[in-house]
Amino acid sequence: IKSFLPHSCLMNNVLCSVITGCGVPAIKPQTIGSRIVNGQNAISGSWPWQVSLQLPNSFHFCGGSLINENWVLTAAHCAVLYTVCFLLVIYVITHPLYNRATFNNDIALLKLSAPVTFTPRISPVCLAPSNSSILPGTRCFTTGWGQTATTSHPEILQQTGVPIISPAVCRQIWGQNRITDAMICAGASGSSSCQGDSGGPLVCEISGVWTLVGSVSWETSTCDTRFPAVYARISQLRSWIDMTIASN
């Protein structure tokens, strides 16, 4: 999937989001009938926290979420891919317990060189609290510019609705030791995140506010839509996020 930051987003100091607090898009997303592999085009500007991480040649390689005017949240396995990246990013902070072999704690924070100016198309997403729990079966949404069923580089941000899968069911599918408390699963319902979507958001609408509950981490190598994708669980990692932002 690809998101609401234009291709030049981070490169040209133009992030995309909306203005009133967090998690309330000025441009309402279309959430009915939404199907990334097997997703659909998102309404421009309706996921205003979506970020595109790009190489200096403007090649999109990962997604991210704007969480306030100074910080973008993405996957650790994305952040470690580059050394000299976007001019807008001062530095990258990867979770100290990130495991490259298991993808546990697959999260990183990008500090921007200057605060983002919020607009109707640029605004932050809310973060799931540490004590939050999402009921299995809840229909949430993931967005991005990653590989789809027909192209590896869609020009328009893609979105899809995916149900939350319980940890017990996810462990039955992926293995008891593979799914940790720092992971949340969603999908297995005909659509899936895929390569290029990593680091992007999994959001659920809670009391009218879109809340970041996961960050795209891993799935089958073929993005098989019969299997759930796995996301870094924001509630489990929230204390590290808050501590890192407060101390930097």
Give the span between the Cα atoms of 5 and 48, in whole angstroms: 8
Amino acid at 229: A
H or E, element range at 243: helix 234-246
How far, in Å, CA of 212 to CA of 3, rounded?
Answer: 15
Rounded CA separation 191/39 (Å): 6
| 181 tagged catalytic | no
Q: Tell me whether residue 7 is one of the annotated catalytic residues.
A: no
* Active-site residue identified among 65, 95, 106, 123: 106
Task: Give burial (CB, 10 Å; 0-12/13-18/19+) of 181.
Answer: exposed
> Of 198, 215, 217, 235, which is the active-site residue?
198
Contact 202, 126 (CB under 8 A): no
Q: Is 191 a catalytic residue?
A: no
Both tokens of residue 239? 């204390």
Phi, psi at 20, each rounded to 5°: -90, 100
CA distance 172 to 99: 22
> In a 10 Å sphere around its CB, with 0-12 CB exposed, 13-18 middle and 19+ buried, how is residue 209 labelled?
middle
CA atoms within 13 A on the CB side of 95: 27
Give Cα 101 distance to the centre of its chain.
Answer: 20
Catalytic residue among 17, 77, 191, 215: 77
Q: Give me the active site residues, please.
A: 77, 106, 198
